């Protein structure tokens, strides 16, 4: 009886999780683009919305996807590089103000990011007057903002993983004459691969799907990210193209699915590594 209840609950949870996906697929295949009259299985299902989405010259859909992938990839690589070195310094080195800086990083993460939107806009605007390629309407400026927002929690995550690696490894390498940089790059970095994969995927997904900052700092259609571009289909009060929006959402989800499929083993290993300490 208990087993039957568990199976029923599992089925209900799976259906509950899959229903939004099924509804998006249904909306993408429905040529009417009307959510009010939409059915789970549209009577005249077809690929009309996909054709309109990919053939509209005013909506550079593939450019939006490229922008999102480019920004997310660069942000992820830079964030991993900087946060990993910072986490190594906080975990292995001893210097004045280390604890204070760690507490400050944690304190900053408590405040919601929305509180800083006006300040971020003004900072990027003023920065653009001095360094134009880091100002408004630039992907470099948006990446700079993303880097500042992702470092705090990532530093703590990687530092926590580093703390579980025995210091005997460092000491043995120092006896053999290795420098801190050699210890970091040749010994510790390979051991950090599980947590780096998890942090990298979380950073990529978070940046790829971010909307608010991209909408504020970018205003030209050719510079839009995917999320900002898709919002154009639902902005107009009397011309909301939910069908094209759903079709774009399905195509836009492909990069995330590919990343998950390629790194699914690493994700599982990264989430469980260090959970049990011998």
Query: Over its length of 278 residues, how does the chain's per-residue pLDDT go in tens digits?
Result: 788 888 899 999 998 888 888 888 888 888 876 666 667 777 777 888 888 888 877 788 999 999 999 999 999 999 999 999 999 989 888 888 888 888 888 888 777 777 888 889 999 999 999 999 998 999 999 999 998 877 778 888 888 888 888 888 888 888 888 888 888 888 888 888 888 988 898 889 989 989 999 999 998 888 999 999 988 887 765 567 888 888 999 999 998 888 888 877 766 665 555 444 44
Could you tell me if 94 and 228 lie in one domain? yes
Could you tell me if 11 and 106 lie in one domain? no
Q: What is the C-alpha to C-alpha distance for residues 151 and 190, in angstroms, rounded to an integer?
A: 21
Could you tell me if 42 and 83 lie in one domain? no
Q: Is the dihedral of CA 62, 54, 240, 21 positive or negative?
A: negative
Could you tell me if 140 and 233 lie in one domain? yes
Total count of domains within the chain: 2
Residue 149 lies in a domain: yes
Could you tell me if 81 and 128 lie in one domain? yes
> H-helix or E-strand containing 117?
helix 117-130
| pLDDT value of residue 235 | 75
Query: How much is the pTM?
Result: 0.86
Could you tell me if 32 and 116 lie in one domain? no
Q: Domain residues for 16?
A: 2-46
Could you tell me if residue 145 is left (phi over 0), alpha (psi between -120 and 50 degrees) or otherwise beta?
A: alpha
CB-CB neighbours of 107 under 10 Å: 10
- The answer to whether 124 touches 134, Cβ cutoff 8 Å, is yes
Q: What is the C-alpha to C-alpha distance for residues 111 and 165, in angstroms, rounded to an integer?
A: 31
């Amino acid at each position: 009886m208990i087993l039957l209840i568990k199976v029923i609950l599992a089925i209900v949870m799976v259906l509950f999780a899959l229903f939004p996906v099924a509804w998006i697929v249904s909306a993408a295949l429905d040529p009417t683009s009307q959510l009010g009259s939409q059915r789970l299985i549209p009577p005249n299902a077809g690929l009309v919305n996909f054709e309109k989405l990919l053939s509209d010259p005013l909506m550079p859909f593939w450019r939006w996807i490229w922008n999102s992938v480019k920004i997310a990839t660069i942000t992820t690589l830079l964030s991993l590089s900087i946060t990993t070195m910072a986490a190594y310094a906080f975990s292995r080195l001893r210097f004045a103000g280390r604890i204070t800086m760690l507490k400050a990083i944690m304190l900053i993460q408590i405040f919601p990011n929305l509180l800083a939107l006006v300040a971020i806009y003004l900072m990027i605007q003023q920065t653009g007057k001095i360094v134009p390629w880091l100002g408004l309407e630039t992907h470099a400026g948006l990446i700079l903002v993303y880097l500042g927002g992702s470092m705090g929690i990532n530093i703590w995550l990687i530092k926590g993983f580093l703390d579980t690696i025995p210091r005997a490894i460092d000491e043995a390498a120092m006896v053999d004459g290795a420098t801190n940089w050699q210890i970091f790059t040749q010994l510790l970095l390979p051991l950090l691969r599980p947590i780096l994969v998890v942090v990298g995927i979380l950073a990529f997904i978070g940046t790829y799907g971010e909307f608010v900052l991209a909408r504020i700092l970018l205003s030209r259609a050719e510079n839009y990210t995917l999320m900002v571009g898709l919002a154009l289909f639902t902005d107009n009060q009397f011309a909301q193209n939910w069908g094209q929006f759903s079709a774009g959402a399905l195509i836009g989800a492909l990069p995330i699915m590919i990343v998950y499929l390629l790194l699914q083993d690493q994700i599982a290993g990264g989430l469980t590594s260090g959970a049990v300490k011998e």
